[in-house]
Structure 1
């Protein structure tokens, strides 16, 4: 089974997106931003999906050296955990960033502090969360495998497109992974293109998905790209199984 991110329909109201995805999948990751922002679990309760929630990331920085911003960021994510608990969803969060290279070590400390607070909040809500690797955006944590020790004890949400941008997909694929975001690119821009439209070796990706035994999320920019991606991935998966 392949899950689908509501990102492909982010210009449509959430209810419209959920209705359109119903014939295609039983698993949805809600991009908790823009028109799909979740003020409560109510919009999700009318559907029988297996849910994941991609927590808000715009303006959220759990590695901020500005303590009011760091605390508020943790609070935003904790509210997401509370909503996720109502629908039995796991949550994906971003790792945060630093403004100046000279501040990296201090920001790493704040990142660790926030993760400890989030672990406590997740435990209180009985929710599981994962931290996503970032694309080629300067000053973000978790762009490469070198930062994996920062999230020790917390599951990795491997965005294969982001890893491809940083030239380290093979390294990430070798790491135990709790969650996958699948989309393609040519290694220079985060295009969220359909599978097969870029340079990613999805045969290797699917081997890692099977090894980790998780439901991968197709996070492509358009609905048409999602359906094309699922067809391509099913063909790759069948080929790997010798069907």
Structure 2
């Protein structure tokens, strides 16, 4: 298992916090880091931190709508970002599982087609696309639906532990991983309180990471600490706790 750190769209945060982590996950595109804006600075920060790169694709727009022209434009936009990401050496790209109306069952095949198209663009660019569960959000697909579509399309999953807890508690974590652990290539790890506090350091909330360990012990993918602080000791402590739970990988 490789442990990294989400840094939003900020090269400054990357430079200040990434040392000692094996990779960073940089948010790109709309409302985040603009590809080409400061690529030399990005490369310098990665080299100084001795960290590899993953990216988080934009989430301002949904992945699937009922309008074919919009869907085509979304895929084209994400494909451009993936081509850039591959060019700067990114390994993985996280994509939110969202659609205009996630409860419209008739539109779920459209979502599957969109997901397949973006994943294929990632393959062309040499970047693994991993689809992230955001079922606690208004436009996020429910965990069970996302799991089925990921299996159907053969798409890797970014399993966000805290998001799953927000959607259905520890039971939701257990159900999803019990059925779809083999699809999980990437993790977002943070802690959550049921009252709505999220992206807390591990141990500060209510998530039972023992359940995650039952299904992903020896996990050999990537795990990004997604804790919203620049306090390096807190970030390092969360990374240590993840490693203690999941082991060193295969």
Tell me the TM-score range normalised by the shorter chain: 0.7 to 0.9
| CA distance in structure 1 between the aligned counterparts of 2:102 and 2:242, rounded to whole angstroms | 42
- The match for 1:55 is 57
5+ residue gaps, structure 2, are none
Residue 120 of structure 1, CA deviation: 2.7
- The match for 2:177 is 173
Residue 61 of structure 1, CA deviation: 1.6
- The match for 1:144 is 143
Deviation string 1:149-207 (CA, Å, 9 cap, x unpaired) is 21220101000000001121112233221000001111342621111111101233345
**1:44 has 2:42 as partner:** yes
Contact 1:206 1:237 in 2 (8 A): no
CA distance 1:76–1:228, shift in 2 (3 Å): same
SS in 2 for 1:37: coil
| CA distance in structure 1 between the aligned counterparts of 2:195 and 2:135, rounded to whole angstroms | 10
SS in 2 for 1:211: coil
Q: 1:27 is matched with which residue: 23, 31, 34?
A: 23
- 1:77-156 counterparts in 2 under 5 A? 77-89=78-90, 90-99=92-101, 101=103, 104-141=104-141, 143-152=142-151, 153-156=154-157
5+ residue gaps, structure 1, are none
Contact 2:191 2:202 in 1 (8 A): yes
| CA distance in structure 2 between the aligned counterparts of 1:239 and 1:140, rounded to whole angstroms | 28
Residue 139 of structure 1, CA deviation: 4.1
Contact 2:65 2:71 in 1 (8 A): yes
CA distance 1:87–1:185, shift in 2 (3 Å): same
CA distance 1:150–1:87, shift in 2 (3 Å): same
| CA distance in structure 2 between the aligned counterparts of 1:100 and 1:156, rounded to whole angstroms | 18
Calculate the aligned-residue CA RMSD, in Å: 2.5
Contact 2:102 2:108 in 1 (8 A): no
**TM-score, scaled relative to structure 2:** 0.81
| CA distance in structure 2 between the aligned counterparts of 1:128 and 1:239, rounded to whole angstroms | 25
| CA distance in structure 2 between the aligned counterparts of 1:161 and 1:24, rounded to whole angstroms | 23
Contact 2:173 2:211 in 1 (8 A): no
| CA distance in structure 2 between the aligned counterparts of 1:111 and 1:82, rounded to whole angstroms | 21
| CA distance in structure 2 between the aligned counterparts of 1:240 and 1:99, rounded to whole angstroms | 35
Stretch moving more, 39-48 or 146-155: 39-48
CA distance 1:117–1:27, shift in 2 (3 Å): same
Aligned residues: 231
Q: 1:184 is matched with which residue: 188, 191, 195?
A: 191
**TM-score, scaled relative to structure 1:** 0.83
